[in-house]
Amino acid sequence: MFDDRLFRPGAAPSPEDRDRPSVRAALNAAMREEMRRDPLVFQMGEDIALASPFGVTSGLAAEFGRERIRDAPCSEVAVLGAAVGAAIGGMRPIVEFQFGDFLSVAIDQLTHQAAMLRYLTGGQVKVPLVVRLPCGAGQGAGSQHSQSLYSWFVHAPGIKVVLPATAMDAKGLMKTAIRDDNPVLVFEHKQLYRSRWPVTAEYADPEFVIPFGRAAIRRTGHDVTVVATLTLLHHTLAVADALADEGISVEVIDPRTLVPLDTATIVDSVRRTGRLLVVDEAYLPCGIQGEVMALVVERAFDALKAAPRRLGNPGVPVPFAPPLEAAVIPDARRIAEAIRALVGRA
């Protein structure tokens, strides 16, 4: 049913994909263009100047120098604290953590300082800060390097949360994040870095941006709405193609940003289909899946033909062993089973 070639580490691109930008290249292009446009933009992170961990910042130090592409010590507290101070002082820092899991080390600098300062000063202080966070499972990286923790930060007021799933979105959303005057967390799924995608002519425009708070309807349908993010978006699209042969029509929505969340697009879709499935790698307890379900129940309960469903990590550390890791992360089979159950085809 599902060909995971796009997401296999080290997989060579197919001939038709070779000329398409990867998510990694799209993020690099976005930061390069914004650093050319605005001399106040600079970057800090571990090994980003000479040995970029995932290759996203490759080549930037050669163009902009080590003052603007700064290697930082292995201290998330120090790096994020310095970036918050720089942002308050008028700079526009981009911070890269080698793994998004480590943002928990510096949560005070983010949630108690950066996120609140604009509110506490009545808008007098801006904190234009971007934090790039490689996230997600699927590479056997172990419990402390495989989490998807964005639900934590959706809960914290004052922070914007971005989840790009294609090259177009990676570039357009990153540029919007850099230009924003508030703290923005960009969660980048590690399995998507190498994946390549078709783009439109807009991609080459240095002024191409994607506004926050606008979901993308990746596939239209009339039997069930599936809200999915990052790699699971692409799994869901593959499932939707397969289920079409069974006569099941699936509408697939990519929220793109969780804060702000395009609630209207999701609710309107559920009003048309009458069914909802939310698919994400986040932990299910108090996860973003439950928040989306709650919003739909509050605003479109009368349209529901079946109880909404959710898929995600059941609430356990992501295992190191690949078979165990696969057991706790939703896959194409479980997505298909949930959709069939929603439409009464189980």
Virtual CA dihedral for 221, 227, 231, 236, nearest 10 degrees? -30
Question: 10-35: buried (b, 16+ CB within 10 Å) or exposed (e) per residue?
Answer: eeeeeeebeeebbbbbbbbbbbbbbb
Find all residues with CB under 8 Å of 41, minimum gap 6, and list them: 31, 34, 35, 68, 91, 92, 93, 94, 178
- pLDDT for position 52: 76
Of 1.10.10.2840, 3.40.640.10, 3.30.70.270, 3.40.50.970, which CATH number belongs to 19-204? 3.40.50.970
Residue with tokens 């699971």: 232
According to CATH, the topology of domain 216-342 is Rossmann fold (3.40.50)
Neighbours of 67 (CB within 10 A): 8
With bands split at pLDDT 50, 70 and 90, how would you rate the model's confidence at 8? Answer: very low
Find all residues with CB under 8 Å of 307, minimum gap 6, and list them: none
Return the active site residues: 76, 145
Virtual CA dihedral for 230, 153, 161, 88, nearest 10 degrees? -150
pLDDT tens, residue by residue, 32-47: 999 999 999 999 999 9
- Residue 49 CA to residue 63 CA, distance in Å, equals 11
At residue 47's C-alpha, the angle toward residues 25 and 189, to 5°, is: 45
Check the CA dihedral 273-279-285-287 and report its sign: negative
pTM attached to this predicted model: 0.94
Of 7-11, 169-173, 198-202, 242-246, the least confident: 7-11
Residue 250 has pLDDT above 50, yes or no: yes
Nearest to 229 by CA among 294, 321, 322, 164: 164
pLDDT tens, residue by residue, 109-156: 999 999 999 999 999 999 999 999 999 998 888 899 999 999 999 999
- Burial of residue 344, with CB atoms counted within 10 A of its CB: 0-12 exposed, 13-18 middle, 19 or more buried: exposed
Nearest to 307 by CA among 269, 273, 266, 274: 274
Q: Residues 284, 314: contact at Cβ < 8 Å?
A: yes
Question: 262-279: buried (b, 16+ CB within 10 Å) or exposed (e) per residue?
Answer: bbebbbbbbeebbbbbbb
Provide mean pLDDT across the span 221-246: 97
- pLDDT for position 13: 56
- Sequence ranges of the domains in the chain: 19-204, 216-342
Of 13 and 18, the one with more pLDDT: 18
**The domains spanning 19-204 and 216-342 adopt the same CATH topology:** yes
Of 50 and 173, the one with more pLDDT: 173
Virtual CA dihedral for 24, 167, 39, 51, nearest 10 degrees? 0
Q: Can you spell out the DSSP letters for 278-344?
A: EEEEEESTT-HHHHHHHHHHHHHGGG-SS--EEEEE-SSPPPSSHHHHHHHS--HHHHHHHHHHHTT
Virtual CA dihedral for 346, 283, 240, 331, nearest 10 degrees? -80
Residue 101 has pLDDT above 80, yes or no: yes
Check the CA dihedral 148-82-56-218 and report its sign: positive
Residue with tokens 């699936």: 250
- pLDDT for position 15: 61
